[in-house]
């Protein structure tokens, strides 16, 4: 019985945001055209990045820090790295804007895509 419990899979949490978000410093309301922008897409427990060094991440944990602010740990695998981890803070500024404060790489400001 204990062996069965230890071998059960652990499921990652879904991200607190979803859809496609384009890199933008604009504070204007509404979705933007992201056709020529770096795009981060959140879909359940998966995050993709159109121009990052790692194309896909899977969420490992999400910890709420304050309303609309989360501590996130993602994992990734590339041809050279297996089960790598990245930590960052995700903040939902409003319905159209989020910020990802990356441990390495600094602040990434994003706006919802059309």
Q: What is the pLDDT of residues 14-47, one digit of tens each?
A: 999 999 999 999 999 999 999 999 999 999 999 9
How does residue 102 score in pLDDT terms, banded at 50, 70 and 90? very high
Q: Which domains does the chain show, CATH number per domain?
A: 20-112 (2.40.128)
Strands (DSSP E) contained in the chain are 19-23, 39-43, 46-49, 56-66, 69-76, 84-94, 97-102, 106-112
Where does the pLDDT of residue 11 fall: very low under 50, low under 70, confident under 90, or very high at 90 and above? very low
Average pLDDT, the chain: 89
pLDDT of residue 22: 99
Q: In the predicted model, what is the mean pLDDT of residues 39-60?
A: 93
């Amino acid at each position: 019985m204990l062996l069965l419990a230890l071998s059960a899979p652990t499921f990652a949490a879904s991200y607190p945001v979803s859809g496609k978000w384009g890199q933008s410093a604009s504070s204007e309301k509404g979705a933007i055209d992201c056709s020529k922008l770096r795009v981060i897409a959140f879909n359940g427990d998966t995050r993709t990045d159109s121009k990052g060094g790692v194309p896909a991440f899977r969420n490992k944990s999400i910890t709420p820090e304050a309303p609309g602010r989360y501590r996130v740990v993602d994992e990734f695998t590339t041809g050279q790295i297996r089960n790598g981890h990245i930590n960052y803070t995700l903040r939902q500024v409003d319905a159209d804007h989020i910020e990802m404060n990356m441990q390495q790489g600094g602040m990434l400001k994003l706006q919802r895509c059309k």
